[in-house]
Amino acid sequence: MFKRVLILGILLIAAIGVGWLLLRPLAHPHRAPVSEATETVEPTETPAEPTETPAEPASTAAQASSTPSASPATPAPAGSGPRVAVIIDDCGQWLEVERGFIKLPVPLTLSVLPHVHGSAVIAEEANAAGKGVMLHLPMETVSGLYPGPGEVTTKMSDDQVRAQVTDDLQQVPLAQGVNNHEGSKASADERVMHDVIAVLAEHGNMFFIDSRTSAQSVGENVAAAAGVPTASRDVFLDNKENVSYTEGQLREAITIAKRSGSAIAIGHPRATTLAALTAMLPEFQSEGVQLVLARELTR
C-alpha cells in the first residue's frame, strides 16, 4: 500500500512539473531593430532648360489634358493693337505636353530641336493645326553645357557652320524660322552668326528670333544687317517651374506689349507652362492683347 501511494505521489509531482513547463510563456525570438534613419531621396528641381520629362502633380496634368481641341491660328490684322508671340522651345521630346499647346485655340509657335525622336511628328502636327514651326538651333554655351545633337560651335570653320545649320534645317523641313537653343557663346560670335544667317538668307523667306541667352548676343543685329526678318525675346516664362510664376511672366509680356506694341515670350514644354497659359487666355482677351505667330513680330 505504501509503495502504491509513493508511486502515485511521484506521478502527481511529475504531472505538475510538465504542466508548468507547457504553460510557461515562450521567449520572443531575437529581432533586429527597425532603423529610424532610412534616407528619403527627393527629386532634384528641373532646370530652366529641361533635360528630362518634368514630373507634375496630378491636378496639373489633369488641367493640361483638358485643353480644348486644336483650331487654326488666325493672324492678327496689322495695327490691331498690342500683340504677344509665345514660342515654346525644346519641342520634339515631350510630345504629350507639346500636343497640349497645339490644342490651344490661339496662335502659338513651336520651336523644334533637330535630331530628337519627335522632331518630324510634332512639326507636322503643329503645322497642320495652323501653329508656327521653327528650328531650335543648338549652339555652343559659355559654360560648356552640351546643348544637344546638331550643335553649332565657334571651333567650326565657316563651311562647317553652314553645313551644320543646313543639316539641322533638313531635320525640321517645315520650319519657317530659327531661334537659338542655348548658344551663349556662339550667338555672341559675329563670324558664326554671319554664317548662320547666311544659310537662312539662302533658303529665302525665313526669319531669325534671337533667344537672348546672352546679353552679348549679336544675332538680331547680324540678321537685320543681312535683310533677314528678325526680332528678339523679351520674357522667359518658366525659369521657375511654377504655374503662378509663369502667369506673372505672361502678365509681364502683356505689360511690355501694351507699352511697346509687341512682346516675344519664350517658354518650354512643361505642364505648368501649359496650365498657366491656358488660365491666362481670358486675361489676354480682357486686356486687349492678341496672341500671334512669332513671324508676325519680325521686321
Secondary structure of the chain in the HEC alphabet?
A: CHHHHHHHHHHHHHHHHHHHHHHCCCCCCCCCCCCCCCCCCCCCCCCCCCCCCCCCCHHHHHHHHCCCCCCCCCCCCCCCCCEEEEEEEEECCCHHHHHHHHHCCCCCEEEECCCCCCHHHHHHHHHHCCCEEEEEEEECCCCCCCCCCCCECCCCCHHHHHHHHHHHHHHCCCCCEEEEEECCCHHHCHHHHHHHHHHHHHHCCCEEEECCCCCCCCHHHHHHHCCCCEEECCEECCCCCCHHHHHHHHHHHHHHHHHHCEEEEEECCCHHHHHHHHHHHHHHHHCCCEEECHHHHCC
What is the tens place of the pLDDT at every residue in 123-180?
A: 999 999 999 999 999 999 999 999 999 999 999 999 999 999 999 999 999 999 999 9
Give the per-residue pLDDT at 265. 98
Mean pLDDT for the chain?
A: 81
Domains of the chain: 82-297 (3.20.20.370)
Look at the block and give the residue holding cell 509531482.
13
Cell of 166: 543646313
pLDDT at residue 219 above 80?
A: yes
Mean pLDDT of 192-218: 97
pTM: 0.76
What is the tens place of the pLDDT at every residue in 49-98?
A: 333 333 333 233 333 333 333 334 444 454 579 999 999 999 999 999 99
Give the per-residue pLDDT at 72. 40
Q: How confident is the model at residue 204 (pLDDT cuts 50, 70, 90)?
A: confident
* Of the candidates 250, 242, 240, the residue with the CA atom closest to the CA atom of residue 291: 250
Q: Is-contact 293 107, C-beta < 8 A?
A: yes
What is the tens place of the pLDDT at every residue in 246-269?
A: 999 999 999 999 999 999 999 999
- Measured between alpha carbons, how far is 27 from 33 in angstroms, rounded to an integer? 17
Give the per-residue pLDDT at 25. 34
Q: Is-contact 193 164, C-beta < 8 A?
A: no
pLDDT at residue 274 above 70?
A: yes
The CA-CA-CA angle for residues 148, 168, 224, to 5°, reads: 105
- Measured between alpha carbons, how far is 93 from 84 in angstroms, rounded to an integer? 25
Least confident stretch, 27-31, 149-153, 157-161, 233-237: 27-31
